[in-house]
Amino acid sequence: MKTKLTVVVLLLTIVFSCKSTEEKNKERLTAEIKKHIENMAVKDNAKVPEVQINNVTYKMISENTIDTIKRIYYAKMINLYKKVFDASINLAKADKEMEKFTGNFDHTMRDEELDSYNKAKEYNETMQYYGRLDSIVRKQIAERKNVANDIYRVTCVCMIAGSGSNSDTLHYILDKDFNFVDLSDKALYQNANKN
């Protein structure tokens, strides 16, 4: 009987002294975020701040969730550049109409018209760029099978010592190995070219 009681007490001690997986993950995420902020300061040749990370919460998501967020961003960028493209074309047309109306065919009006068309061309190229990114992401989503929720979407409150009572809510994405996920367009193109 004494042996059984000792085993039960030992098991209860182990169970209550062990941290949950969620607590361990939060501690690891906190450490990685703190290290990331400190590394960014070093990279920028700034003084390494004393960082306090609080209220860490996370949700497990999949690559498809990240890619869906990217597609929403790309659609917004396409719409934005479509509007400025249209505005530039309309401005060029207005310059041409003004030239006809006033009979003023000097180089200034033609330069402004040409400038508007050149800007429109740049905006169109940017729209096409985001369209290509969207196509890459759409293809990646379609090709994935059995997608696991193994990416951390983290939210935390960060306070930097000496900044008074200022705090910021930060959002990060880390992979299953606690590495930060690069969501930039450049990273997407690099990953797409590997395949």
pLDDT at 95: 74
List pLDDT tens digits, range 147-179: 999 999 999 998 877 666 678 898 999 999 999
Q: Are residues 139 and 156 in the same domain?
A: no
pLDDT at 178: 93
Joined together, the tokens standing for residue 100 give: 């006809």
Q: Are residues 77 and 135 in the same domain?
A: yes
Q: Are 61 and 149 in contact (CB under 8 A)?
A: yes
Q: Are residues 129 and 78 in the same domain?
A: yes
What percent of the chain shows pLDDT beyond 70?
A: 79
Q: Are residues 97 and 165 in the same domain?
A: no
Q: Are residues 67 and 143 in the same domain?
A: yes
Q: Are residues 102 and 75 in the same domain?
A: yes
Q: Are residues 98 and 143 in the same domain?
A: yes
Burial 10-20 (b: 16+ CB within 10 A, else e): eeeeeeeeeee
pLDDT at 189: 56
Q: Are residues 124 and 185 in the same domain?
A: no
As for how many domains the chain has, the answer is 2
Q: Are residues 25 and 47 in the same domain?
A: yes
Measured CA to CA in angstroms, residue 190 lies from 33, 120, 136, 185, 186 at distances of 24, 28, 11, 9, 6
Could you tell me if residue 13 is inside a domain?
Answer: no
Nearest CA to 58 among 23, 92, 34?
Answer: 23
Domain of residue 87 covers 63-147
Q: Are residues 111 and 165 in the same domain?
A: no
Token pair 């065919």 is at which residue? 105
Could you tell me if residue 156 is inside a domain?
Answer: yes
Average pLDDT over residues 85-103: 80
- pTM for the structure as a whole: 0.66
Q: Are residues 137 and 159 in the same domain?
A: no
Q: Which residues contact 38 (CB under 8 A, 6 or more apart)?
A: 48, 49, 51
Dist CA 95 CA 52 (whole Å) = 56
**The domain boundary residue, chosen from 132, 147, 162:** 147
Could you tell me if residue 177 is inside a domain?
Answer: yes
Nearest CA to 120 among 155, 95, 152, 151?
Answer: 95
Joined together, the tokens standing for residue 188 give: 């997407």
Dist CA 121 CA 123 (whole Å) = 5
Average pLDDT over residues 56-76: 92
Dist CA 9 CA 20 (whole Å) = 19
